[in-house]
Chains A and B, each alone.
Chain A
Amino acid sequence: MLSMFLAPEIKEAAKAVVSNAAAAAPAVPAAAPVSVPKLPPLETANSWAMPTEASTFAESTDNLYYFITALSVIFFVLIIGAMLYFMKKYARRSEDQKTSSLTHNGKIEFLWSAIPAVLLVVIFAWGEIDWIKQTSPPPDAIDIRVTGRQWYWQVDYPDYPGVTLTSSTEEPLITMMVPKGRPVRLIMTSEDVLHSFYVPAFRVKKDLVPGRYTTLWFEATKVGEFNIFCAEYCGDRHSSMGGVIKVLEPDSFEAALREAAKLEQKPVESAADFGKRIYTRRGCVACHTLDGSAATGPSWKGLYGKEESLVGGETLKVDDNYIKESILQPKAKIVAGYTAANMPSYQGQLDDKQITAVIEFIKTQK
């Protein structure tokens, strides 16, 4: 509906307005570039309706949503209808037009307090019953661990050791895979600030809080790819902290998951190209840029072979060993101007071959 009546020309016009505004806006120092997460379409046919229903919660949530919408429309029409009617009927026609001496009416006042009160209790109870369901994961749920960092998600599968997926602010990556028709429980935490894991198609959302675990569960009902958004403001690239959740048939789930998580050098691929894939697929991209601008971590541009100054005043020349140590024990040597707390250790997550590939990739960043 709405999405149809805006023709491409309007988007062109919008583009023209912003580029004029951009020319007029004061020049800002180029911060790290922020890209739009290129995510799959939301599959909403209609702007007036809720998004696709793809979990067992969605239908009941939507029914309550439509129920409240219907009640709201009824009340709105009654209130505003009465207002418009009175406006027409009792418009002032002469200066000394007489008005009624009515000041109150106990019966009506009781009714218009009691009727909304009863309806509100019904809405409360409905919302509450569904909420209790949403906060009680069944015991046979598959556990998945989610870690939020500025600005990407890391998803680990305790049942499949070594399987890790991450999101990327640069590319749409499969961030999480779940089987259809099986309950899944997410055990989530954050390593820096608050984030919030939100999948509109599932109607689920929960904050990730540093220093504690929060849980969220759902059961997907539709095969396909759906958006993940971060819904709690978390800084610069909050709006790019998206991801893709892929729902698969249960029998193809495990194989597809292992395939997606596999990060091996392809026969035709150079070590540096493989390193680049690791760079995007293991989250390095979230903190290290390639264009020289500083982000959470130092840029990789011109890193290899340069004199790096460390916290404490020492300097050293960046070589293979230093890079390897930085990846496995980030706290060992800390680059001046940064905090080691921000760089996660990749001990046990990247093997020697992968680290070598990353080093080869860094070497190409001159």
Chain B
Amino acid sequence: MVTADKSSSPGGDHAREPSFYTSQKGLKSWLFTLDHKRLGMMYLVSTMIFFFVGGVAALSLRTELLTPELDVFSATTYNKLFTVHGAVMVFLVIIPSVPGAMGNFLLPLMLGAKDVAFPRLNLLSFYIYTLGAVFFLITLLTGSLDTGWTFYTPYSTSTGTAVISATFGAFILGFSSILTGLNFLVTVHKMRAPGLTWNRLPLFVWAIYSTAVIQILATPVLAITLMLLIIERTLNIGIFDPAMGGDPVLFQHFFWFYSHPAVYIMILPGFGIISELVAVHSRKHIFGYKAIALSSVAIAIISFLVWGHHMFVSGQSELAGVVFSFLTFAVAVPTAIKVFSWVATLYKGSIEFNTPMLYALAFLFTFTIGGLTGVFLGALSVDIHLHDTYFVVAHFHYVMMGGTIIAFIGGIHHWWGKMTGRMFNETHGRWGCLLVFIGFNVTFFSQFLVGQQGMPRRYATYVPQFQNIHVISTIGSYILGVGLLWTAIYLLRSLKSGAQASDNPYGGASLEWITQSPPIEHNFHGQPRVDTDPYNFPQIDRSGGMDHH
């Protein structure tokens, strides 16, 4: 069991103290806050706003695709819309969401620390993020960018649209990502409570830690690439543009050298959330702690060596294709290990089907499909057919939306009481989860079928025989939209009318649950101490002796 020097449970030896929301007041106390919890909430609000913007673009795209012809938008507008959608979702939502919001809020709490290692740097990261985001969004909306989120040359260097300022926005965002990663890395190394050894870290912390490593190592490459692009466009030095003697395929190598590891920046934190949810809501020790923790690290390392699987048909050498294909399959193994371990955790547990757990189970379903379809794409000959079709679109939505976003929503529910002090309505939550689950699968499963038949991606118009499947997918996207809107509404309403959250509503055993909900400004009264691991629930039957490593 974990202990604090002084008990902080309600009815304990002292009254409830003001939470971090009320301990200081006024706009200034928010704008200049060094409190990781306030920063976490600010990230949560901003990523949710951007999620809404990206979502509106997505539903517009799906509406256009109801018919094979162009009827709602012009082709140019369609192309701008998918660029806004992809770029916002990747750079402003998925990458900052879990580390920025959940990471900031939870990491110090889970470590038993008062804050992150460098609170001022943390505030700076947030401002860099905001600056980059505003800059990026203004460009996307007014500068009419139409290159797709991948910015492939030479289209991006020849089109008249605002590529420089958009890439500059992404460049700024990259800095925020690097600084946050650095901050978390040092925090995990230096700020752990007494007794909190590496083997006792919650798996969410391991996941954030592995993510931080990738952020620090990969993001500079993106920054350099975008810098080179800017140099090419402003100084007319041929780097990627063949008209000036550059090499357009070089850009793709640079881009994916960052962006493949980045897909793990996007998913690893989601994995972390799922490990917590599955263990807590089944009150079982997580199965294969070491395997899950180390597979995150393994994925972080191998993910740097597989970028070429996005380029099998780009004209890269045959040998490169073979090597990249092989390494791609090497990442699939640690990913599979995680899924098996989560399912095994349910075995002989005490499973409660509340909203966070339903999201975790939905994650297992959708992420398994996402991972398995990655295997199709890693197989060279099959990828030649599927590359740049809707099959790829479906695959990465299954891993990013069905993986990261589903995990994120589950995490928001799991820690909602801790973060806001209020509980949401369980019944509303379960209905929301059902709508999201059905809507998501109808939208994206159908895209595997149309992709496998040869429907290319980024098409504003298409041949008529694909219409049936597109109509189904669009209907699914409306269901998904309704589910998400519904979820946003009941969560916001709970802030006013929700029941008071107890300190530990689900019986979690990691440190964030011993403090008050919402936590006090300095997190804990005194220094928490740890003498066991975070999955050692009181319900575990130890009559046969604890099976320990």
Residues of A whose CB lies within 8 Å of any CB of B are: 2-3, 5-6, 10-11, 14-15, 17-19, 21-22, 25, 28, 30-31, 34-37, 39, 41-42, 44, 47-48, 50-51, 57, 60-61, 64-65, 68-69, 71-72, 75-76, 79-80, 82-83, 86-87, 90-93, 96-105, 108-109, 112-113, 116-117, 120-121, 123-124, 126-128, 130-132, 134-135, 192-194, 196, 198, 200-201, 203-207, 209-212, 214, 227, 229-240, 242, 341
Contacts and interface: CB of A to CB of B under 8 A. Distances in A.
B452 interface: yes
Contacts of B321: 131, 135
B401 interface: no
A198 B381 contact: no
Nearest to B474: A14
A158 to B, nearest CB: 21
Given A80-B364, A86-B349, A210-B243, A19 B71 contact: yes
Contact of B453 (A44, A120, A206, A341): A44
B385 A42 contact: no
Contacts of A25: 72-73
Contacts of A198: 388, 454, 456
B151 to A, nearest CB: 11
A129 B540 CA distance: 51
A131 B380 contact: yes
Contacts, number: 357
Contacts of A75: 368, 372
A230 to B, nearest CB: 7
Nearest to B365: A80
Contacts of A206: 313, 315
Contacts of B64: 18, 21
Contacts of A192: 154, 158
Contacts of B457: 231, 233
A42 B468 CA distance: 14
B71 to A, nearest CB: 4
Contacts of B532: none
Contact of A102 (B155, B376, B381, B547): B547
A44 B353 CA distance: 42
Minimum-distance CB pairs A-B, first 7: A200-B454, A211-B242, A127-B379, A100-B348, A130-B381, A131-B380, A239-B459
20 contacts: A11-B67, A14-B66, A21-B64, A30-B74, A34-B70, A34-B460, A72-B372, A98-B539, A98-B541, A99-B283, A101-B540, A102-B348, A103-B546, A128-B380, A134-B384, A207-B314, A209-B249, A235-B79, A239-B75, A240-B75
A51 B69 CA distance: 22
B388 A91 contact: no
Given A72-B372, A92-B350, A127-B382, A103 B547 contact: yes
Interface stretch (B210-218, B229-237, B253-261, B326-334): B326-334
B343 A36 contact: no
A273 to B, nearest CB: 28
B385 A229 contact: no
A304 to B, nearest CB: 29
B372 A212 contact: no
A44 B545 CA distance: 60
Contact of B461 (A41, A47, A235, A240): A240
Nearest to B385: A203
B321 to A, nearest CB: 6
B72 to A, nearest CB: 5
B456 A11 contact: no
Interface in B368-418: 368-369, 372-373, 375-376, 378-385, 387-389
A205 B379 contact: no
B124 interface: no
Given A31-B75, A68-B376, A99-B284, A209 B471 contact: no
